[in-house]
Amino acid sequence: MIPGKETEAIRAAGRRMDMLGWVPATAGNISVRLGDGRIAITRSGFHKGFIPEDGVMTVDLNGRPEQSDLRPSAETGLHCGIYRRFSQAGAVLHGHSVAATVLSRQAGAAITLADYELLKAFPGLPTHDAAIDLPVLDNDQDIERLQSRVTQIWDAVPQAPPGYLIRGHGVYVWADDMPGALLRLEALEFMLACELQSRRSP
């Protein structure tokens, strides 16, 4: 059983992401870490703006479904990779915006965000006078291999960046809880929207 509060938090996050245009078709997925350590995550194949009451299921930290007849989101392994690495992470959001998709397709290994007031929404950045390099990974249907590349990136830097992009596929962010994850997603998407506009009218 998943506590009703957690299911509702996931469904409400999906509605908000849909309103903002970040979960087209069946794109995107959403999860929270439950009190007992299990992960509640959206099932595969649903529109995230209209998650039904039974559209959330549980997996363990390695992504194994508790109920073997249900299929979790295809990228469950990326959610679990985040929960295993960051013990404080309580919620993970994967969105699929036009800005993230377009910029990630044009980017190299990272997108640099600098001098935005909204950088303060990320941990460890008390000022706008800063820069972060958001990793951009090539898309891969082999999620285990994709997660191992994410881990390599985390291992290579002293502090992991507050999210990452998959090329042509969208962003991943996380935070202590769902409200915090939504704030980070909105901050990140806002800066990506600014970048997309800026690059066009230099």
Give residues in contact with a second copy (CB under 8 A): 24-27, 47, 96, 98-99, 101-102, 105-106, 115-118, 121, 126-129, 139, 141, 166-170, 179, 182-184, 186-187, 189-190, 193-194, 196-202
Beta carbon of residue 155, minimum distance to a second copy (angstroms, whole number): 25
- Tokens coding 122: 């990320």
The secondary structure of 68-120 as a DSSP string is: TTS-B-TTHHHHHHHHHH-TT--EEEEE--HHHHHHHHH--SEEEEES-GGGG
Q: Which is nearer to a second copy, 27 or 70 (CB)?
A: 27
Beta carbon of residue 10, minimum distance to a second copy (angstroms, whole number): 17
Q: Which is nearer to a second copy, 87 or 127 (CB)?
A: 127
- CA distance linking residue 175 with residue 88, whole number of Å: 8
Q: Which is nearer to a second copy, 61 or 130 (CB)?
A: 130
Q: Which is nearer to a second copy, 12 or 61 (CB)?
A: 12
- Tokens coding 68: 């073997």
Beta carbon of residue 94, minimum distance to a second copy (angstroms, whole number): 11
- CA distance linking residue 69 with residue 41, whole number of Å: 15
Alpha-carbon dihedral 4, 24, 168, 40, rounded to 10 degrees: 10
Beta carbon of residue 102, minimum distance to a second copy (angstroms, whole number): 5
| C-alpha of 121 from chain center | 15
Beta carbon of residue 65, minimum distance to a second copy (angstroms, whole number): 20
Contact 132, 125 (CB under 8 A): yes
Q: Which is nearer to a second copy, 6 or 189 (CB)?
A: 189
